Amino acid sequence: MTDLHRLSVRELTEGLAAAKFSSRELTEHYLKRIEKIDAQVQSYVTVTAEQALAEANAADALRKAGGATVLTGVPIAHKDIFCTHGIKTTAGSKMLDNFISPYDATVVAKGKVAGLVTLGKVNMDEFAMGSTSESSYFGATANPWALDHVPGGSSGGSAAAVAADLAPFATGTDTGGSIRQPASFCGLTGLKPTYGRVSRFGMIAYASSLDQGGPMARSAEDCAYLMNVMAGHDAKDSTSIEKDADNYVANLNSTSVKGLRIGIPRQYFNAAGLDADVKARVEESLKKLEDMGAVLVEIDLNMTESYVPTYYLIAPAEASSNLSRFDGVRYGYRAENPVDLMDLYKRSRSKGFGKEVQQRILIGTYALSAGYYDAYYVKAQKVRRLIQQDFLKAFESVDVIAAPSAPTTAYRIGANLSQVEMYLGDIYTIAVNLAGLPAINAPVGFDKDSLPVGLQLIGNYWSESQLLSVVHQYQQATDWHTKRAAIAEENA
């Protein structure tokens, strides 16, 4: 079959179960595509062809023996932030260019138990800091919809790989929008779960109180399959919730759009930086949901102006602490011929980390230092609480909150936005992380340059099933999620 990459995850599970094709054929098909097409996209940092074929053979054998479960033999790409036993894990950084993890992240281990076949590790902004994937030590990744544009970030490799049909689905992480924004830029569905729903064990830490892994795929249905693998309590992560995960696939029709109260924050839709096409497409999608029976309710989220300053204080503060372990001594990049220990630290860290990461370490260290701690970090934590309360108040009168995922569509590669412009691009995503809430991006059309636009739906705590279900209903009634970039149409 030449078009296996066009099948949805459900269709892949059905095809494998009915022996229409083997995992080996499916895996070879994807590896061939990667070999032919990824030179243009640069989504993979590492392709694990040999291991993938071995895993595919094992999956086929297991299926023959009657031991297969639903996803046995389905391929996946992992963001290069998840530790993979015996395979390089770089976090997009020179610092970890030579790092081979001695263990699997829980998410990766769960994928193995589910029988997923790892095609490789995909590109990302260095240590997940960025919105374009350009800060990766390994270079930029292209947006499959327009190769001179970025796929977004930080999970840009995950988004580009799926959008170019170089993987059926991929893992991502979202500290401040890094699943939702690249999903938006690449026309995909991506879910950022409630903080604590997906284990952070073995996921290289950026800002620990905000980091959360989640699925990226074409549709809510495909995401639900991956959520069933990723979600669940993990004793190895102290912030993991001791609460059973849902069966997200079984729940795809659990929420009716009829009567669903969707909050429309005035502050979000009147924001100065919101692109007119993005606004129009998002409003059209909301109109569609209204036609399907949803009730649109205007709400206020009064803390909107404090999102960017609060996030860009807390995230760098936590990053400065998390990244202190990369000192050139224990592992990671090590400067040559140090004259003394201080010289080793200094040169390893200034050569091993890129510019954006270094800037954030400096800002974070400053904010945490004696004399400034109360004025900055403690204050930001107080504002964070107010942002959370603002959402909780809104959820007293609405079921979900709608927003764009990003104020614009994808930027050009090398556009060199100022740092302030880049940070303001996170306005619609970061508050969700500060509050620890779940949110989903769904593709809802294109701008005048044929670049994808995304709708974001934010839910109350633990409402992943509801969000997936609402988007699934929307995707049953529309076909934006089935649109493919020209490069995805190419056959290998």
Which residue among 129, 294, 361, 458 contacts ligand GLN (CB under 6 A)?
A: 129
Q: Which stretch binds ligand GLN (CB under 6 A): 62-70, 72-80, 104-112, 176-184?
A: 176-184
SS3 state of residue 271? coil
Active site residue 178: yes
| Distance (Å, whole) CA 407 – CA 422 | 11
For 185-211, letters b (16+ CB in 10 Å) and e give bbbbbbbbbbbbbbbbbbbbbbbebbb
For the CB of residue 405, give the shortest distance to ligand GLN in the complex, in Å.
Answer: 12
Contact 404, 456 (CB under 8 A): yes
Catalytic annotation, pick one of 22, 131, 154, 158:
154
Long-range residue pairs from 64-69, CB within 8 A, at least 24 positions apart, any chain = 68/16, 68/17, 68/115, 69/114, 69/115
User: Looking at the DSSP assignment, which residues form a beta bridge with residue 46?
Assistant: 121
In the bound state with ligand GLN, the residue whose beta carbon lies nearer, of 429 and 465, is 429
Which residue among 175, 240, 304, 466 contacts ligand GLN (CB under 6 A)?
A: 175
For the CB of residue 195, give the shortest distance to ligand GLN in the complex, in Å.
Answer: 13
Which residue among 224, 315, 344, 471 contacts ligand GLN (CB under 6 A)?
A: 315
Which residue among 92, 111, 120, 130 contacts ligand GLN (CB under 6 A)?
A: 130
In the bound state with ligand GLN, the residue whose beta carbon lies nearer, of 51 and 209, is 209
The total of other beta-carbon atoms located within 10 Å of residue 65's CB is: 8
Q: Does 106 bind ligand GLN (CB under 6 A)?
A: no
Contact 348, 340 (CB under 8 A): no
Active site residue 154: yes
For the CB of residue 329, give the shortest distance to ligand GLN in the complex, in Å.
Answer: 26
In the bound state with ligand GLN, the residue whose beta carbon lies nearer, of 104 and 426, is 426
Scanning 379-429, the segments in alpha helix (DSSP H) are 379-394, 419-424
Q: Does 456 bind ligand GLN (CB under 6 A)?
A: no
| Distance (Å, whole) CA 233 – CA 1 | 39
| Distance (Å, whole) CA 36 – CA 77 | 17
Which residue among 7, 34, 56, 128 contacts ligand GLN (CB under 6 A)?
A: 128
Q: Does 177 bind ligand GLN (CB under 6 A)?
A: yes
Residue 481: what are its φ and ψ, rounded to 5°?
A: -70, -10
How many residues lie near ligand GLN (CB under 6 A)? Answer: 13
Positions marked catalytic: 79, 154, 178
Binding site for ligand GLN (CB under 6 A): 128-131, 154, 174-178, 206, 315, 426
